[in-house]
Amino acid sequence: MKRIMIIATLIALALTVAGFASMPQTFPEPNLLRRIDVNAKTITALAPGKNYIVDLTQRGVVYEFSPQAGQIDFSRVRVRTTRGEVAIGSFLETTYLKDKLAGFKYATQAFSLATRPPGTIQNPPSGTSNLSCNPETKICSCIGKKACTNLMFETSLCDEFFCAINPLTGEKVCSCKQLPS
């Protein structure tokens, strides 16, 4: 029964994410996060051979990727975490998109990568029904602005977040890899 519930949750999340569009992301607590817009112009402004670094070792930062200004050259984007530096495609596919957010196309759809601001609490607030963590994959997910705000700002479950907007519902959907206990 537990396995069926986990599979049903993953399928529901995959179906939700499959309809994502290329619209800018908005995180709910703008005064707590430093926003960095990343688009095609950001990458083409770099010197030839230089890569853009998404530094997820910094706390309280949100990188908002938007393809509205043109196709982003993701081959020149790398993600720095406490575990090292990797290509963004590899980071997204191995951390969030592989079997979890099937159908999401990071190269053509808007999304955000963010880090938790300092000063959050240790336990999820009570009554957060749209927040769940899979004990097997260690991936936590939320649906809706309130649940995602709770996950990011009121818990210490995760440090790094992947978020996008579902155009069918207009709701924010976020996922994160749980920190080791």
Cβ-Cβ contacts under 8 Å for 64 (sequence gap 6 or more): 24, 25, 35, 36, 37, 38, 110, 112
User: Tokens in use for 130?
Assistant: 């749209």
Question: Are the C-beta atoms of residues 117 and 59 closer than 8 Å to each other?
Answer: yes
Helix (H, G, I), strand (E, B) or coil at 75: helix
Q: What is the largest CA-CA distance in the chain?
A: 54
N-terminal to C-terminal alpha carbon distance within the chain: 25
Cβ-Cβ contacts under 8 Å for 57 (sequence gap 6 or more): 80, 81, 82, 115
Asked if the model's pLDDT at residue 19 lies above 60, the reply is: no
CA 19, 136, 87 angle in degrees (round to 5)?
60
Helix (H, G, I), strand (E, B) or coil at 116: coil
More confident residue, 169 or 147: 147
53-61 average pLDDT score: 93
Q: What is the pLDDT of residues 60-110, one digit of tens each?
A: 999 999 888 788 999 999 999 988 999 998 888 887 765 555 556 777 788
For the chain, give the mean pLDDT: 76
Q: pTM for the full model?
A: 0.75
Q: What is the pLDDT of residues 114-133, one digit of tens each?
A: 998 876 555 555 555 677 88
Checking DSSP bridges between strand 160-165 and strand 52-55, what pairing results, if any?
unpaired
